[in-house]
A = this chain, B = another copy of it.
Amino acid sequence: MSVAALLNDLPFVQHMGIEVVEAADGHAVAELELAEEHTTVPSGPVAHGGVAYALADTVGGAAVISLHHRPTPTVDMRIDYHAPATDDLRAEADVVRDGGSVASADVRVESVDGTHVASARGVFKTGGSDDGGPWGAREDRDLE
């Protein structure tokens, strides 16, 4: 199963209406159609910050997983908000540095009209052993 397909199967990814459309060679793209449930302002479609973040964390993780073909949990992520999210979103992630312990990925989130909505940068755990790190039993899922 492709990395994209596996991620799109996850309950939270579906609950958020996120769709990973591409994830290979350290690069990933995901989309989200803005819906009522994403908003903070009932009078107009401005999305809660958690929407752009969920999209960024998902696509950032997808980019890293596409190089490691196993789960790579987020260690930390920072998101900067540049403009209100008032339309469908598209996010692109690129792995900036890939290491045996951690990888670093950059994410750009924009509106479908090209407006730069947010930027995110995350560190993901790529280390190979179950070493007493944050995520107990690692699942070595087969991601091709």
Contact = CB atoms under 8 A, between A and B. Distances in A.
Contacts of A43: 139
B82 A97 contact: yes
Contacts of A133: 99-102
Interface in A123-144: 123, 125, 127, 129, 131-136, 139
Contact of A50 (B14, B16, B40): B16
Interface residues of A, number: 61
A33 interface: no
Nearest to A141: B41
A23 to B, nearest CB: 15
A79 B96 CA distance: 13
Interface of A: 9-16, 36-43, 46-51, 53-54, 57-58, 61, 73-84, 96-97, 99-102, 104, 106, 116, 119, 121, 123, 125, 127, 129, 131-136, 139
